[in-house]
Amino acid sequence: MKRKNFFLFFLFLIGFASSYAILTFDILEDSSPPPVYEVSVITRGRGNDSWESMKHGAEQASEELFVDLSFITLSEDSSVEEQIYLLERESLGGADAIVISAADSRLLTPYVSKVGESIPIVSIDSPTESPSVFSYISADDYEMGMLLGSEINSSGNSHKRTAIIVSGLSCSNVSSRLDGLRDSLGLPDDIALYWYPPETPDEASAYLSSKLEEHAADVLIALDLPALELAGQALIDNNQQSVSLFGFGATGKIASFIESGIIEATIVKNDFAIGYLGISAAASALSERPVSLNTVVEHRLINMENMYDIENQRLLFPSIR
């Protein structure tokens, strides 16, 4: 055999052996475990069933996507100062990404933008105006408002005195609900009643009780979940069961109020999906995978008649386990 051929054979043999070793023993394959990202979720309220459901969604995504989740609720609902503090604390504390539901869409914007310069920020439920947000995941709040207005109209309450309990309006998703509601009801601003309860629950309860004692309205509409719970409780406490209550959100208590006829209808969004998709978006942003700028989750109208429909059960009572 020629020397050159032998050399080629030897070279090929070495190449073959190297390739075999690389493939068989995964020499080049990254055998290290996938990176674990630390993601913090900052809610805009205290713990309730809605946030709990969102937490379950976030936990499911964290389990699947190797995320070390830190789910943080506020000590009081819609506290902007606390959210700003938590935002900065989590950012400085080494969070790889932050998922936030803004307590005040406008006030929180500069802080979100600042933090967003260093780590990915994902908005859920309530947006900010910051352009540095990677993705916003929520239900279509304007459509939710429209749907509830439509239900109020169809239930024969359209010509009754209607009071809207205005709370959480600093969140632009809540203001969108109000817009949808107004458009659906056709309520001129000078006709509709707007009740502005104080921020603390006790004061808000007292405020609502006093209003109800005045028999100022036949139809009450609560724009957010805490207000709906407070209004339902106030109706029971004041024995004002002739007043029709509508609102947004779902908890066990609200389900109980619906079942007992205190609340006529509520619009429920899929909080589990918001939590799941929020973490997914954060993980995608960290892995430099494409992230959808806007994701809309489903919402449903729940009333006494349909609350035990199988699909509605799954939305109204999401904690199946």
# residues near another protein by CB under 8 A: 40
- Cβ closest to another protein, residue 85 vs residue 317: 317
Q: What is the 3-state secondary structure (H, E, C) of the chain?
A: CCHHHHHHHHHHHHHHHHHHHHHHCCCCCCCCCCCCEEEEEECCCCCCHHHHHHHHHHHHHHHHHCEEEEEECCCCCCCHHHHHHHHHHHHHCCCCEEEECCCCCCCCHHHHHHHHCCCCEEEECCCCCCCCEEEEEEECHHHHHHHHHHHHHHCCCCCCCEEEECCCCCCHHHHHHHHHHHHHHCCCCCCCEEECCCCCHHHHHHHHHHHHHCCCCCEEEECCHHHHHHHHHHHHHCCCCCCEEEEECCCHHHHHHHHCCCEEEEEEECHHHHHHHHHHHHHHHHCCCCCCCEEEECEEEEECCCCCCHHHHHHHCCCCC
Give the dihedral of Cα atoms 206, 208, 203, 192; nearest 10 deg. Answer: -150
Q: Does 1 bind another protein (CB under 8 A)?
A: yes
If 0-12 CB within 10 Å is exposed, 13-18 middle and 19+ buried, where does residue 154 land? exposed
Residue among 66, 194, 196, 308 that touches another protein (CB under 8 A)? 308
Q: Does 241 bind another protein (CB under 8 A)?
A: no
Residue among 270, 281, 291, 302 that touches another protein (CB under 8 A)? 270
Among 18-26, 160-168, 220-228, 240-248, which window interacts with another protein (CB under 8 A)?
18-26
Among 17-25, 127-135, 168-176, 240-248, which window interacts with another protein (CB under 8 A)?
17-25
Among 40-48, 97-105, 139-147, 311-319, which window interacts with another protein (CB under 8 A)?
311-319
What is the per-residue binding string for another protein in 36-65, x denoting contact by CB under 8 A?
Answer: --------------------xx--x-----
- Cβ closest to another protein, residue 177 vs residue 300: 300
Residue among 7, 18, 19, 294 that touches another protein (CB under 8 A)? 19
Q: Does 237 bind another protein (CB under 8 A)?
A: no
Residue among 48, 297, 300, 302 that touches another protein (CB under 8 A)? 297
Residue among 12, 66, 194, 196 that touches another protein (CB under 8 A)? 12
Residue among 30, 75, 189, 310 that touches another protein (CB under 8 A)? 310
Among 37-45, 73-81, 235-243, 309-317, which window interacts with another protein (CB under 8 A)?
309-317
Nearest to 161 by CA among 182, 186, 191: 191
Residue among 192, 253, 292, 296 that touches another protein (CB under 8 A)? 253
Residue among 95, 124, 144, 277 that touches another protein (CB under 8 A)? 277
d(Cα 193, Cα 216) in Å, to the nearest integer? Answer: 9
Provide the binding-site residues for another protein, judged by CB under 8 A. 1-2, 5, 9, 12, 16, 19-20, 23-24, 26, 56-57, 60, 251-253, 255-256, 259-260, 270, 272-273, 276-277, 297-298, 304, 308, 310, 313-321
